[in-house]
Amino acid sequence: MDQAAAEAILQRLPLITEQQARMLHAMWQGGDAVIRQRAWQRGKRALRTERAQQLYDTANGAVSRWIRDWASGRVGMPYEVYSSFLDQNRLEIRIAAAPPILDAILASLVSDVFPTDELEELMAPWTLAMEGDQPTATDDGLADADDNAPDAPTEADPDLRGDTHP
């Protein structure tokens, strides 16, 4: 179990640019859904047996808050009310980036249980979209220098990855 690798992913959340979020989603969509589903089934079993479920739940909550932070903090309006179509589009980009982020977190937490093809399928979008220099605050509307690392999860945080995503 590599808790440090999962925490490193969470630390990058506030710095993900719009372009990186789009790339995460596009690469995830272009991946092999059958391998990914098989990996998730194996990963879920491993979370329970390695007692890593709480760490995954914490990470899932952090990703959920990363998405909600855009809705509540950026537009200064209540949830699900957007000041423009651009704001709505940026929120949807974060929502679409959640599954590959959670794939990378799962792969980090229980990497030792996956065969090579499954581990690569789970990590590829994150690795390829986020490689290169560490992102910094940009003017694309997704990352600001004053963003903080995510807080601990609450019971209201839904499992964003869920069984509905292959």
Which residue intervals of 1-115 are DSSP H helices?
3-12, 18-29, 33-49, 53-69, 85-109
At 69 the pLDDT is 79
Q: Is the distance from CB of 66 to CB of 13 less than 8 angstroms?
A: yes
pTM exceeding 0.85:
no
- Which amino acid would we find at residue 119? L
CA distance 103 to 101: 5
Neighbours of 35 (CB within 10 A): 18
Q: Is the distance from CB of 108 to CB of 101 less than 8 angstroms?
A: no
At 90 the pLDDT is 78
Q: Using one digit for the tens of pLDDT, what is the confidence trace for 51-82?
A: 789 899 999 999 999 998 765 555 444 455 54
* Rg for the chain, CA atoms, rounded: 15
The two three-digit tokens of residue 158, written as one number: 């839904």
CA distance 59 to 72: 20
